[in-house]
Amino acid sequence: MVSTEDLRAEKLFSVKGFVCVVTGGGTGIGLMATQALAANGARVYITGRRMEALDNAAKTHSPAEGGEIIPVGPCDVTKKEDLEKLVAQISEKEKYINLLITNAGISGPKAEPESEKASELKERLFNGETFSEWSDTFNTNVSAVYFTTVAFLPLLQAGEESHGHLSASVIVISSMSGIMRHAQGHFGYNAAKGATVHLSKLMSYEFKKAGIRVNSIAPGYFPSEMTTKESDENQKSTLPAEKVEEKGHVPAKRSGSDEEMAQGVIFLTKNKYVNGEIIAIDGGVLLEVPGR
């Protein structure tokens, strides 16, 4: 039996002493997750393709006390040699990790199916996108999630052995786009995110025998370089409420906040009784848009 004092938020959601790795951790949702973990005591290694962005994120957002943000890389998660190098670099400093967040992703090509005429649809969709663009989208958003997770399995299992059963976990950043039937003009991206959602379920089942939990966060509209095409000097992006409201299918009538993403990340990190779940943090979009 626990005491009432044991149920204080600072105890329930503390990640003090945790070692975490976040891909794409220098901007957007990856940075939100990184800040949440570091603010609550974790040592967080962030990686990505742009070392200057990682360095700036660590310099700007490391907490004054407690946790720490450490840039490592650069790393292209679609290259096995980069992943092996990343694991080796972290292994030189850590005997284990408690959490891996696979966040790195790309938006892929866009072609709107706006016409009711099949000939116009073919012209827009068949000629508007390429096989190579689809392959790049799947490589980054699906294949890289798989190979990144597999590369870190030994360090994750070492974390499970050090901190108790199912204490090590993976959070896959998928998307509400992988659950809905509306293409949003992004057939390649949404199809890839649908695959990411299912991959999360596959990994949760197959890796439970190794004592590693796998869950996924399916975000809605959050400010990031992917959604706004830019970030400021603090690596932060802005998505005005009016832009989100224009879409007409967001009950919250705004983008998601850093705090709301942080709450989801910390919950999945700490709750060892949750495994194989897809948590939509979408402002209610999936209440309005048809899903599967």
pLDDT in tens, 125-176: 998 899 999 999 999 999 999 999 999 999 999 987 666 666 799 999 999 9
93 included as an active-site residue: no
pLDDT, tens digit, for every residue of 237-259?
Answer: 889 999 999 999 999 999 999 99
96 included as an active-site residue: no
Does 192 score more than 90 pLDDT? yes
Q: What pLDDT does residue 228 have?
A: 80
Domain spans in the chain, listed from the N-terminal domain onward: 9-283
273 included as an active-site residue: no
Q: Are 291 and 182 in contact (CB under 8 A)?
A: no
Whole-model pTM: value is: 0.94
Annotated catalytic residue within 107, 174, 224, 237 = 174
CATH architecture of 9-283: 3-Layer(aba) Sandwich (3.40)
Annotated catalytic residue within 62, 189, 200, 231 = 189
Annotated catalytic residue within 62, 107, 175, 193 = 193
Q: What pLDDT does residue 225 have?
A: 81
Say which residue, 108 or 133, is predicted with more confidence.
133
C-alpha dihedral over 251, 253, 255, 261, to 10 degrees? -40
